[in-house]
């Protein structure tokens, strides 16, 4: 058998290695238009920022080492330009010499990846404007920062890469402005969690501009003028475009392969394209979202590597393993904070008309009495029908990754909120509390699910009528330091003795700092004859952060 693979890095290289492990006698050829076949794409920002100092550590495998270990013919700087599916051949071009030739195949695997978006904005080809997608881009950016007296950088786009680059530029001592067209950072995350991280970014001296678009660039001396849609002009020494990517489907389109509704290469559950002898993996393919059922594309290394293994199994053994899709689990370091997501955000569930409940909790990363416990915010989304978990988002300083991994695993396995309650963790004071934040998220969700806890959200304060009661159950000193306008204050520890101050027959909206005291107050009132009592999910602190971000 002869296998051709177009594109290396995550999907293609993992497919090739697995093919060899399954078939020692096959002829395997990888075509890669770049110079490198397997490198740490996600590590590129940290090399630019000097966190990773040795460039060679970015490379997982060299072409020579890959060939030596796996006996695979690796052809770098060689681009496949055409597929002839009838003759089962591809046309390739050696980029250095210009030589054009054909290569036949029995099975073809496409792993062309994605390409950065460069919209037709006037002046976008100006010197000093970069995108970051590969090692070549990285070398250009690093060289430019070192040799061009760069002091001011504008990062356009506040996605995962944009935020990582902003942090690394900042750590190099540069003045950084982030421009984001949306009303929040990190589009896969819901606004309340994003708002927490936005405030942290601003605390670092970053100029974060949301709901702002760039309309043009121009060179002025050695600097770049960045023109905004409000007429303002920013001056930068360098600009990084991080406004997203799109699947590279050019070969697939040329070959007449089916393109899906998400504009990626359509594949079936075996990662097989519309041509039975052509498979595809990685950033260019689309598949069914296991939560919404809609077609989606994911630009993540983890799924691409897993797809490569599954694809090789199916190519060699004959469609024996199904790919069950990705729930887009992702995490990013943003200065001192960590924020991550798994599953489908509430805003996207709304768009898909999927009914759901959102619950937000705040807990320490480990036991409060052990030094350096840090607060983390966990938002989970679940079905009101059966409690099935639909998504999880976490923002915090310590222990975010391990909680996100647990929640991601549960979402992928169609687990429900009761599984969070029963989650048994490794507990010692330096690592967690006897009730882990995962358990706490489950406890609160169960109370909501069983109607022991009625909640309202930060953006529903304006729905409170003048005849309703807004009740602050924090301590007097907390209330005096800051409150929601119109609230009366009865601390939770005094509420039993002051029931006569709360009118019967009114709808009561309670809040405390984080949600726990509000829940306790609600339980007291509901068992004392007050029927319509709601508690602010996420508490006063989350409301304060979200409303502050909206007013900027």
Q: 297, 254, 304: which is closest to 278 by C-alpha?
A: 254
Residues with catalytic function: 42
Biggest CA–CA distance in the chain, Å, is 90
Q: What letter does residue 513 receive in the DSSP assignment?
A: S
Token reading at 21: 């492990």
pLDDT for the residue 153: 98
Residue 223: strand pairing partners:
220
What are the residues whose beta carbons fall under 8 Å from the beta carbon of 19, sequence distance 6 or more?
3, 26, 28, 312, 315, 316
The position carrying tokens 């396995």 is: 413
Are the C-beta atoms of residues 330 and 298 closer than 8 Å to each other? Answer: no
Is the pLDDT confidence value at 267 over 80?
yes
Radius of gyration of the chain, Cα coordinates, nearest whole angstrom? 27
Token reading at 197: 């991280």
Task: Determine how many CB atoms are found less than 10 A away from the CB of residue 169.
Answer: 26
Residue 36's pLDDT band, with cuts at 50, 70 and 90, is confident
Give per-residue pLDDT as tens, 38-80. 788 889 999 999 999 999 888 877 888 888 899 999 999 999 9
For residues 127 and 139, give the distance between their C-alpha atoms in angstroms, rounded to a whole number.
Answer: 15
The position carrying tokens 């007291």 is: 524
Token reading at 355: 């009914």
Helix 191-203 to helix 539-550 angle (10° resolution) is 70
For residues 73 and 331, give the distance between their C-alpha atoms in angstroms, rounded to a whole number.
Answer: 35
DSSP string, 134-181: SHHHHHHHHHHHHHTT--EEEEE--SHHHHHHHHHHHHTT-EEEEE-S
For residues 82 and 64, give the distance between their C-alpha atoms in angstroms, rounded to a whole number.
Answer: 26
Phi then psi dihedrals of residue 521, to 5 deg: -65, -40
For 59, 304, 485, the CA distances from 43, given in Å and listed in that order, are 10, 16, 46
For residues 155 and 130, give the distance between their C-alpha atoms in angstroms, rounded to a whole number.
Answer: 10
Residue 432's pLDDT band, with cuts at 50, 70 and 90, is very high
Are the C-beta atoms of residues 182 and 157 closer than 8 Å to each other? Answer: no
For residues 249 and 265, give the distance between their C-alpha atoms in angstroms, rounded to a whole number.
Answer: 6
Give per-residue pLDDT as tens, 301-330. 899 999 999 999 999 999 999 999 999 999
Give per-residue pLDDT as tens, 136-186. 999 999 999 999 999 999 999 999 999 999 999 999 999 999 999 999 999
Task: Determine how many CB atoms are found less than 10 A away from the CB of residue 498.
Answer: 10
Are the C-beta atoms of residues 123 and 239 closer than 8 Å to each other? Answer: no
DSSP three-state, residue 273: coil
Residue 485: is it exposed, middle or buried by C-beta count within 10 angstroms (0-12/13-18/19+)? Answer: exposed
Q: What letter does residue 42 receive in the DSSP assignment?
A: G
- The enclosing H or E element of 199 equals helix 191-203
The position carrying tokens 């002829």 is: 27
> Residues 26-38: what's their mean pLDDT?
91
Residue 132: is it exposed, middle or buried by C-beta count within 10 angstroms (0-12/13-18/19+)? Answer: buried
Give the 3-state DSSP-derived string for 304-369, with helices as H, strands as E and coil as C. HHHHHHHHHHHHHHCCCCCCCCCCCCEEEEECCEEEEEEECCHHHHHHCCCCCEEEEEEEECCCCC
Residue 551's pLDDT band, with cuts at 50, 70 and 90, is confident
Residue 519's pLDDT band, with cuts at 50, 70 and 90, is very high
Give per-residue pLDDT as tens, 201-253. 999 999 999 999 999 999 999 999 999 999 999 999 999 999 989 999 999 99
Residue 288: strand pairing partners:
295
Q: 202, 198, 194, 195: which is closest to 176 by C-alpha?
A: 202
Residue 9's pLDDT band, with cuts at 50, 70 and 90, is confident
pLDDT for the residue 42: 87
Residue 489: is it exposed, middle or buried by C-beta count within 10 angstroms (0-12/13-18/19+)? Answer: middle
pLDDT for the residue 265: 98
What value does the mean pLDDT of the chain take? 95
Using CA of residue 364, residue 481, residue 520, residue 359, what is the dihedral sign? negative
For residues 131 and 140, give the distance between their C-alpha atoms in angstroms, rounded to a whole number.
Answer: 10
For residues 538 and 359, give the distance between their C-alpha atoms in angstroms, rounded to a whole number.
Answer: 8
> Residues 89-105: what's their mean pLDDT?
96
Give per-residue pLDDT as tens, 102-120. 999 999 999 999 998 888 9
Q: 279, 220, 232: which is closest to 252 by C-alpha?
A: 279
For 181, 347, 494, the CA distances from 191, given in Å and listed in that order, are 14, 9, 34
For residues 487 and 14, give the distance between their C-alpha atoms in angstroms, rounded to a whole number.
Answer: 59
Token reading at 519: 């829940």
What are the residues whose beta carbons fall under 8 Å from the beta carbon of 384, sequence distance 6 or more?
355, 356, 357, 449
Using CA of residue 440, residue 442, residue 443, residue 449, what is the dihedral sign? positive
Is the pLDDT confidence value at 334 over 80?
yes
């Amino acid at each position: 058998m002869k296998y051709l693979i177009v594109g290396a890095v995550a999907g293609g290289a993992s497919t090739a290695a697995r093919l060899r492990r399954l078939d020692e006698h096959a002829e395997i050829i990888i075509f890669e238009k770049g110079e490198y076949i397997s490198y740490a794409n996600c590590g590129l920002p940290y090399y630019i920022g000097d966190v990773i100092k040795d460039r060679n550590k970015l490379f997982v495998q060299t072409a020579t080492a890959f060939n030596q270990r796996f006996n695979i013919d690796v052809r770098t700087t060689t681009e496949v330009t055409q597929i002839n599916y009838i003759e089962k051949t591809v046309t390739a071009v050696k980029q250095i010499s210009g030589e054009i030739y054909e290569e036949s195949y029995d099975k073809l695997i496409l792993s062309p990846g994605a390409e950065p978006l460069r919209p037709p904005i006037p002046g976008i080809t100006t010197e000093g404007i970069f995108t970051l997608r590969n090692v070549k881009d990285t070398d250009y950016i690093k060289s430019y920062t070192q040799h061009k007296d760069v002091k001011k950088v504008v990062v356009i786009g506040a996605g995962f890469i944009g935020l990582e680059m902003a942090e690394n530029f900042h750590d190099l001592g540069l003045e950084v402005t982030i421009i984001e067209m949306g009303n929040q950072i990190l589009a896969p995350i819901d606004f309340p969690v994003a708002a927490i991280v936005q405030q942290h970014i601003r605390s670092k001296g970053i100029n974060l501009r949301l709901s702002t678009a760039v309309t043009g660039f121009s060179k002025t001396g050695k600097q770049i003028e960045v023109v905004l849609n409000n007429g303002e002009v920013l001056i930068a020494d360098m600009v990084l475009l991080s406004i997203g990517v799109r699947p590279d489907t050019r070969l697939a389109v040329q070959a007449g392969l089916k393109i899906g509704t998400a504009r990626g290469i359509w594949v079936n559950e075996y990662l097989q394209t519309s041509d039975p002898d052509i498979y595809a993996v990685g950033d260019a393919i689309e598949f069914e979202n296991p939560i919404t059922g809609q077609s989606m594309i994911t630009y993540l290394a983890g799924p691409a590597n897993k797809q490569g293994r599954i694809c090789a199994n199916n190519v060699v053994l004959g469609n024996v393993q199904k790919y069950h899709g990705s729930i887009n689990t992702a995490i990013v370091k943003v200065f001192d904070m960590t924020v991550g997501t798994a599953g489908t955000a509430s805003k996207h569930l709304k768009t898909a008309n999927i009914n759901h409940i959102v619950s937000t909790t705040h807990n320490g990363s480990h036991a409060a009495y052990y030094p350096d416990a840090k607060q983390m915010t966990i938002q989970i989304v679940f079905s009101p029908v059966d409690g099935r978990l639909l998504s999880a988002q976490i923002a915090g300083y310590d222990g975010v990754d391990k909680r996100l991994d647990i929640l991601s695993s549960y979402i992928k396995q169609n687990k429900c909120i009761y599984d969070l309650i029963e989650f048994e963790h490794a507990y010692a004071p330096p690592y967690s509390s006897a009730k882990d934040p995962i358990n706490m998220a489950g406890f609160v969700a169960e109370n909501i699910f069983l109607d022991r806890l009625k909640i309202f959200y930060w953006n529903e304060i304006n729905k409170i009528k003048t005849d309703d009661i807004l009740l602050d159950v924090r301590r007097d000193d907390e209330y005096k330091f800051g409150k929601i306008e119109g609230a009366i204050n009865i601390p939770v520890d005094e509420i039993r003795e002051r029931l006569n101050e709360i009118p019967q027959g009114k709808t009561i909206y309670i809040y405390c700092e984080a949600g726990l005291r509000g829940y306790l107050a609600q339980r007291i009132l509901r068992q004392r004859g007050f029927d319509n009592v709601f508690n602010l999910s996420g508490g006063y602190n989350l409301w304060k952060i979200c409303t502050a971000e909206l007013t900027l």
